Amino acid sequence: MKKFIFLFTFVVLFIGFAQKIQAATIIAVDADTLKSRYAGSIVVEDTGFAKQYWYVEPKSQERYLLKDGVSVSRLLKTFATGIKNNDLNKIATSTASVNVDYQLTAQMRGQLLLQVEEDGQAWYLNPLDNYRYKIDNGFKGLKTLKNLALEINPGKLAVIPIVDNLNFEPLTNNNPNFPMYWEIQNILKDDYYKAEEVNNKQLFYGSLEGMVQSLGDPYTEFFSPQQKKEFDNQMQGSLEGIGAMVEQLNKTVVIISPLSGSPAEKVGLQPQDQILEANHIDLRGLTLDDSISLIKGPSGTEVLLKIYRPATQETFEVSIIREKINIPLVIGKKLDNNIAYFKISMFSLDLKASFEKIKNNTIDENTKGIIIDLRNNPGGYTSAAIDLADYWLPAGELILQEKYPDLLYQFSSRLDQEIKLPTVILVNNGTASSAEIFTSALSEHNLAKIVGQTTFGKGTGQTLLSFADGSALKYTVFEWLTPNGISLEENGITPDYLLENNSIQDQQLEKAKELLR
């Protein structure tokens, strides 16, 4: 019995093996038949999740993935066969075509044809109906080919080999589809419901803005040529609007500081105030540039802002008349008891020259102390902060450290100490960036006392790269550290004397004068 069972099993296995050999033979025969049948065709594979379209090149009988409009352009460039008008006209476009050359049609079936005597128009000779179809470059051509696709099941498709060419292979998650950029642009230009309003430059600049915003860094920005002009005006101390420095944090427009004497300051806007609406238009979720364009405007016009103030958790509306704002970089004056007072609004490139001129008219042999007012100073250029700190520090003292991914730059004072008077620096939560660099340099070298509120806490530095068309990219390149190696990002500087003002008196200024008496 055991022998019989063994023998029976062997016979079954043998029969199964013979069937596999026969099946393999059938598949081998069918492979050639299948490849020949689909040669020159556009086939579509339904994966269950998405559809993939392939072109089976008639000569090699290999398949090329039609993943986007660029794939079509590559196919035309690689495989299109030149054809003269006389021959092209012998290939039918419909049942109404006359003088059809069926022998020529049979030779060209499944091929991509390039009309060589006119504008280089491309055609596809569909082997299913023997008609030629006009194929445009890019997305339009892809749509035409997709409409001509023949369904094929995965088993049959697997028999047709995939070409060994990365340009036509399916993408992996780690391989970004850069040609998709052009495809999307063409789709918007051709199929967007207001296609006539689509502007190439707006699409281009908008895509660059989106790329930069994807980093989630509020200090890295792309500027169109117009935005770059406005940025330059702002850095030079000239702008038109409400007069407030703003950033976008968590998709909300936040005031860093209202500028001194500006309409924003006059109506009582404060650092950290959030601008929710401008003229009843919700700004949350808009880009910073779009929000700013709604807030600013010509001098003499009115804008109604809806404000949320985190400090008091109140929401209110305020009407502001826009003005043309020319910001004096430095204001210098003599206070009572021989105290020199300097209000610095921004750290622009020409700050040193402005400070030098006003300093000579404000400080004399009778000066007992100096107040540097950096409240609501949004910063500016790090070089300007270094130049200003150089007046107070002895030569060779560390002012600033710039921490890059692979190295650390240190910037020290270069000149002998020129100002040796007791100094108090006024700050608040609108004091940011280069203003914090200057403040921390004097504070950590025990050359100044700090009075006011904790500063904004901007601990990164940006560089500006300009392009030939007037656009520019401002992007973060380093984290800056104080002389003691402290990062102020999101932390800021805590004053020696924490003090808030009230509506009656500038208590911070009074405290500074008290310290210098």
Distance of CA 183 to the CA centre of its chain: 19
Compute the distance between CA of residue 311 and CA of residue 309 in angstroms, rounded to an integer. 6
Name the β-bridge partners of 83.
Answer: 115
Q: Categorise residue 230: left if φ over 0, alpha if ψ from -120 to 50, beta otherwise.
A: alpha
SS3 510: helix
| Structure token digits, residue 100 | 């059809």
The single-letter code of the amino acid at 422 is: P
| Structure token digits, residue 268 | 């009582």
Indicate the burial class of 18 (C-beta count within 10 angstroms; 0-12, 13-18, 19 or more).
Answer: exposed
Indicate the burial class of 300 (C-beta count within 10 angstroms; 0-12, 13-18, 19 or more).
Answer: exposed
Query: Taking the CB of residue 147, how many other CB atoms lie within 10 A of it?
Result: 9
| Alpha-carbon torsion angle 70, 71, 73, 77, nearest 10 | 140
Q: Which residues 6+ apart lie within 8 Å of 254 measured at CB?
A: 246, 247, 248, 272, 273, 274, 275
CA nearest neighbour of 111 among 55, 58, 44: 58
Q: Contact 273/309 with Cβ under 8 angstroms? A: yes
CA angle 43, 48, 52 (to 5 degrees): 30
Catalytic positions: 433, 444, 458
| Structure token digits, residue 61 | 């009988």
SS3 196: helix
Compute the distance between CA of residue 61 and CA of residue 161 in angstroms, rounded to an integer. 8
Compute the distance between CA of residue 282 and CA of residue 277 in angstroms, rounded to an integer. 5
Compute the distance between CA of residue 391 and CA of residue 386 in angstroms, rounded to an integer. 9
Q: Which residues 6+ apart lie within 8 Å of 494 measured at CB?
A: 454
Rounded to 5 degrees, φ, ψ at 306 are -100, 125
Q: What is the sign, positive or negative, of the torsion defined by CA atoms of 132, 138, 140, 144?
A: positive
Name the β-bridge partners of 411.
Answer: 400
Rg over alpha carbons for the chain, rounded to the nearest Å, is: 36
Compute the distance between CA of residue 421 and CA of residue 43 in angstroms, rounded to an integer. 84
